[in-house]
Structure 1
Amino acid sequence: MTEVAVIVLTNRGLPTARRVAAAVGGAVHGLTGRVEGADAAFADTAEHLRALFAAGTPIVGVCAAGILVRALAPLLADKRAEPPVLAVAEDGSAVVPLLGGHHGANALARRLAEALEGVAAVTTAGDLAFGVALDDPPPGWRLANPADAKAFTAALLGGAPCRLDGDAPWLRGSGLPFADGAEHTLWVTERAGAGDARTLVYHPPVLAVGVGCERGTDPAELSDLVHATLAEAGLATGAVALVASLDLKADEPAVHAAAAALRAPARFFDAARLEQEVPRLANPSDVVFQEVGCHGVAEGAALAAAGPDARLVVPKRRSKRATCAVALAPQPIDTLQAGRVRGRLSIVGIGPGTPGWRTPEAERWLASATDLVGYHLYLDLLGPAATGKRRHGYELGAETERCRIALDLAAEGRDVALVSSGDAGIYAMATLVFELIEREGAAHDAWTRVDVAVTPGISALQAAAARVGAPLGHDFCTISLSDLLTPWAVIERRIRAAAEGDFVVAVYNPVSQRRTAQLGELKRVLLEHRPADTPVVLARNLGREGEVVRVITLGELSADQVDMLTLVLVGSGETRRLPRGDGGVWVYTPRGYAAKREEAK
């Protein structure tokens, strides 16, 4: 289940929302202007709920049930595709599963009721009568014919008995009306079977599919091989617990495509671990050993993943560039203990710091991360979003060390978020990560197999511009005055080019304790090309406590007015000041629409 969104509309309900989020590992979404200190903010309740529902996000609303019903009613169509939606009383006394009862909502309601010491108002008939939802098997299990579950349950509610064919403790321990010789059957099997209104077919996660392939294999080739292998053996795709391979294939798209097609996770083993399976291999190969250090990839990975008591039920099969084998475990496979996941490095821009300026994608990536790496201040700014994560905090100046530890942690199979303020790709960590992979990847080959992804954040220049109006309405550029990594001669050349091109200039790192003269040099060059009354915006601590945004002129600009927490926005020759009714001033840079209208007359 993806991270739960806990919706709260008042400060009165915030304590309960926090307890809910702690119980389910979710994030608190608060209504702007009504709720203070939420992990994420929204302005339109109905719109936000619909967006979450459409994305398949489980929703727990600490609010009246009617609010959720009215907001989501236009989206209700297929109950088998809807995520769980629950309403919780502001005092936590009642938990009501409204939608997705058999897709996790009922189980979630009982879990929350226990945590909140309230009552779970479960109303679905099967759960009440038998203590189990036949169309909602445990994680990892699959029901082959969910469309028949309603008729099957109705028959049992009408008095018909059933029998269990196979091993399923979660069914055996329920209140179902079992009887020998019953016509209605619950069939538990790894074999393929269609089922019908009198036979529900359950597939336990007991199959491990081992795969190998050449580098760059067409994903369709490997997926076709896997499906053909299972079909010819009469095995159900729903019984596949995972797809396993050699760790050298952790970044191979074909392996991940095969796993995705089976709706199963991908897991990886090093060559030494696969070599331990040699006594159980049906087709050991000295050629494979010479290439990758083990005598079998597909068979070895399948057996390693399925466990010591597993048996190889389908020996290695080949296509032109890929191999596949299948092992059967006597008990459901614990995918959390089998092999290693492909590590992920999420490079996350969190904006200036306020939760309201973090993107939903950044929120999701932070929520899924096991480890957070970054400057101490940036990790502190995450607030509740950092709860339960391993923190790896560093001081300013340790940028390379931060990136290296983030890559090392991801190479171990962890889900790592490397946190930057603003946008991670603008004077931040994203560039350094890719530079390190290119420069040192040969010595750290595991880095090259990490899943690296970058999510954008609201940059300081965007935040500053929004606070004062629209100074970036026409062409602009950014310049950093820090000469730690860039020679001053290069910086000065860029300043002159920006001045001659009449760009609005966003100035990052304008001064430091040891470096104050460069801002004066920037001012001198710009004054050669634009008037002294050009608007300048000084924006400090944007989106955080102590935020200050001032508008001065280029002629007034001096180093003692700014620090490293200040962004300086210098207008172009076209930038205008517009007095506001409250005594303040808007700043904007026209793009020429007025002249265009005049030409059209």
Structure 2
Amino acid sequence: MVLVWREFQPIAAIATTPSAAKILQPLTQTAGATLWIPNSLTNVEALHSTSLQVYHGSLKDHLTEIWHQHQAFIFCLAAGAVVRLIAPLLQDKSRDPAVVVLDENGKFVISLCSGHQGKADQLARAIAHSIGATPVLTGASSALKLPGVDILGVPFGWSRGEGDWTEVSAAVARGELVQVIQEAGSTLWQNHLPQHPFYFGFPEYTAAHKEESVSPKARIWISSTQRQFSNESDLPKVQWHPRVLWVGIGCERGTSRKLIETAIEQVFRKNHLAIGAIAGIGTIDLKADEVGLVEFCRDRNLPLRTFRAEILRSVTVPNPSNVVEAEVGTPSVAEAAAIYAAGEARFPEVSKLLVPKQIFRLEGQPGAVTVAIAQSNLEYTGRTGCLFLIGTGPGKLDQMTPAAQTAISQADAVIGYSLYIDLITPLLRPGQIVEALPITQERQRAERAIELANWGLTVAVVSSGDCGIYGMAGLVLEELQAKGWDGKTPGVQVFPGITALQAAASRVGAPLMHDFCAISLSDLLTPWEVIEKRLKAAAQADFVTALYNPRSQTRTQQIATATEIFLQYRDPKTPVAIVKSAYRQDEQIALTTLDKLLTMSIDMLTTVLIGNQSTRTHADWMITPRGYLGFDNENC
């Protein structure tokens, strides 16, 4: 099962006819779905899959049995029939699985139920890209090209708080003004919105609304504060809680889980902080096996970070204790651990101590616990990030693999050179973070992608052609290696694409039918002496040769030198293809010969294909025979 589909697992695909089963069957491999068919289809020879399961009896009864065991359901069945089947099983959109319906021709993929929180919209897009179908999304946010209010913070691991989510979402759908007050968490989501009904900050109207004093019709709070909304207010409000609060804990040996939980809840209630904003727990390493603390973190699904005494001793705190220092070797546990954890163990000085230490005991419960709270500038996502290294091919969408298209559409963030981002714009979805960097900033792109992936996002790094051939895959993997990557976290998946030499060759015929090589003439990352040595070896060995990056505005001599080298070993009339921007709108193709190569228009978007001694042209096509039979091979 590839990383692209991991957020939808486990997936059940339901087919009741042979044709429906054939349409869904590929998803058992690409998406890791389990295909369920009725007993009546077991004799259909075309159905074969290790993920094939058979149900007996009615489909309605079977769905009742497996409904709560799956995150997503894919039906190839009439939409009306699906509605009747699942209606008794639906409970709440925050808990219902994604439900997607395909027609029996496999042309349309309908997001039927739990489009936002269940991710049916995302699943429909993924399936559509995978099988070449059209996604049908009926939600208002999709039409507005906006992320759903109720899934806004999901990529960043935010906790959904209280509020009237239905009415706030409705206000966005109506295009009404919605005030956003963000006091914590990443603002990346704000930078990639189309024209939208949001405005940010506390004023009732901003510069954009000076002429008309417009009051908001809804409000979104993004904060670590727990707000109590008045029932008398007509303004619908919701709150997201970024996980920015680190709770420092010091406790006596044997302190109960209940005491720890009670103490934390009391501190949060007293200081009007949201429990959902807790990022994790920090303490001294002596408490790594403290049963009550371990159980609390396990039950709340919180990370427990422990630090050595010498580390905690280095943190400046407002309330040090000589007694604590004599006991465990540091004057502070709770405050120091909160500050250090909130500073991501690298920059404790950037974290903010919100609540100084407070000591709690509870009658009838063993032990004592000390609680302190610090706020981090960066939220804890609670997610394992991954990197999709994607080759987009020549740039035309129908030349991209379905897997690459699916990966781009599913990523939280997409990073690449601005030209390549423009070419894949139709694949982007509302709410994605899109960062386009200049052509010379390849290493910065790699570093940024790794930074976001280490934070917990799924990041697509796009290259033209194949990402592993003069693309970003090598740079990203090099950077990961330099940072001590364990090979697993963040996860990495490479999606190959049609590289420039293949695209160029396809436009002129079959010039690569015999041994060939590729050489980049850019000396930004490779010394020219090395490039020149390779040019001589390729020319002398009679390889069909593809030249990448042949000429730029400031680098003009390299193509001239390369031509001179090849003329030393090749016939001047050797066929040469000049292909610029293959498969793009400004595509240009020319066939010439080696002695006339320098008279042609060549730039950085051009691929040059130099034939071998047997390459020929015929009626504007370039052909290299599969063998050398019949040719004089003395000088080969």
- TM-score by length of structure 1 reads 0.49
- TM-score by length of structure 2 reads 0.47
